[in-house]
Homo-oligomer: A and B are copies of this chain.
């Protein structure tokens, strides 16, 4: 059996080239006589790997020198606690609620201080992004938080909040590396690796240096302080070494393929292919508000749940897998991360057209 077209929301498709290199190097990395998995994280070989990964990420994202890059563990879910524990000096923060992941972040932050939900799209099941120009911020808010791209609901912020100096914190788990962003607009960016970066088990945190301090909330575990990891170059304890190696290979792959500008161009092309068809189809339609559509996650429905189920089943048999939508939206979802080639999306659209014709 060949490789399938994998539309999983995460863990997700990775570049075949990266997987091939990982397989080739599995027993003997660059004549070291060992696998990257077997390397002491304190060895020269491994230091070159983690430093190389950071350098390439800095290059492709154009990360300014006054930002630290941390490779952590625990996923975005652990950041939901680390952010308030490290940043809530006034025990107060502003959150924008645009879906399940921001809801989780809000509920976790409430353990540590006052959370002001300054905007929400829950009135329409998170199908849209609130107007960021209409927002007002609390003067004593330690930060303003939003989820850049909503994996489940298929929406994304096309404009980012202008906070007048209040640090902006954002979960970019499902949009990082998919398009150019201006890192200096943010105080903290974090992302679970398992979409556009690499395997699950690595969390990338990009944080402005002045936000890394010793003054964390009382009872913050050593491992949950940004300073702990920043001071030790992500080597306070053993980092997820193999995942960081794969992430480094993905960063190299992005660089070789033209960087974030090229990724963005191809991602827009892929998304347009799918959205244009959804807009013209009589059977399928997208569920997110047109102006707020995600480039990465495309939720859509057919005319009935029975037809949805039939479509998912037949698509799977034809090699298009993980198209079932999240239960809170229903229907289907195609996640089309960087590693999904244009031909994969084209093949899906062709299959959908054929399905529509056959099921009129």
Contacts and interface: CB of A to CB of B under 8 A. Distances in A.
A238 B3 CA distance: 23
Interface stretch (A127-135, A193-201, A204-212): A193-201
Interface residues of A, number: 71
25 contacts: A1-B28, A1-B31, A3-B27, A3-B33, A3-B34, A4-B32, A4-B33, A13-B38, A19-B35, A20-B27, A37-B199, A37-B200, A73-B75, A75-B223, A75-B237, A77-B222, A80-B221, A81-B223, A111-B219, A199-B240, A199-B242, A200-B239, A200-B240, A201-B241, A240-B243
B243 A242 contact: yes
A203 to B, nearest CB: 9
A194 B33 contact: no
Interface string A307-330: 000000000000101100000000
Contacts of A112: 219
A22 interface: yes
Nearest to A242: B199
A8 interface: yes
Contacts of A28: 1-3
Interface in A70-105: 73-78, 80-82, 85
Contacts of A39: 8, 11
Contacts of A108: 221-222
A8 B223 contact: no
Contact of A26 (B19, B78, B217): B19
A228 to B, nearest CB: 9
B13 A34 contact: yes
Given A75-B223, A194-B238, 20 more contacts: A2-B28, A3-B28, A8-B40, A11-B37, A13-B34, A14-B37, A19-B35, A19-B37, A23-B23, A40-B322, A73-B201, A73-B240, A74-B223, A78-B223, A82-B221, A112-B219, A200-B239, A201-B201, A240-B240, A242-B243
Interface string A56-72: 00000000000000000
A259 interface: no
A341 to B, nearest CB: 14
Nearest to A39: B11
A262 interface: no
A115 interface: no
A43 B74 contact: no
Interface string A137-148: 000000000000
Interface in A165-215: 192, 194, 198-202
A31 B74 CA distance: 30
B14 A35 contact: yes
A252 B243 CA distance: 22
Contacts of A217: 219
A9 interface: yes
